């Protein structure tokens, strides 16, 4: 039950900036005071930080692919 309450009342998880390197983000996320309170277990906190970074990176890659697709369509390229 405590986990469910934490999900409702926890502060937002820090988000990586677009060009932030993984090791810098993980270090900042792990040392964040609120993250330490919300996730006192270091392994759990690391898992949350790593998952957050990986999801942000994946979302950025998808965004970049879509932009490249639109750019190529506008130039008249057909990609197979």
At 12-67, the pLDDT tens digits run 899 999 889 999 999 999 999 999 999 999 999 999 999 999 999 988 777 666 65
Give me the pLDDT at residue 4, please.
41
pTM of the model: 0.66
- From the list 28, 66, 76, the residue with the least C-alpha distance to 49 is 28
| Contact yes or no for 64/54 (Cβ under 8 A) | no
Residue with tokens 């639109």: 70
Total length of the chain: 80
Question: Given pLDDT bands bounded at 50, 70 and 90, which one contains residue 78?
Answer: low
Give me the pLDDT at residue 71, please.
57
């Amino acid at each position: 039950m405590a986990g469910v309450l934490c999900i409702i009342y926890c502060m937002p998880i820090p988000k990586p900036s677009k060009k932030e390197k993984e090791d810098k983000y993980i270090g900042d996320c792990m040392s964040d005071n609120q993250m330490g309170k919300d996730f006192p277990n270091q392994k759990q906190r690391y898992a949350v930080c790593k998952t957050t970074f990986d999801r942000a990176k994946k979302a950025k890659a998808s965004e970049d692919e879509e932009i490249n697709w639109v750019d190529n369509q506008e130039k008249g390229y057909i990609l197979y």
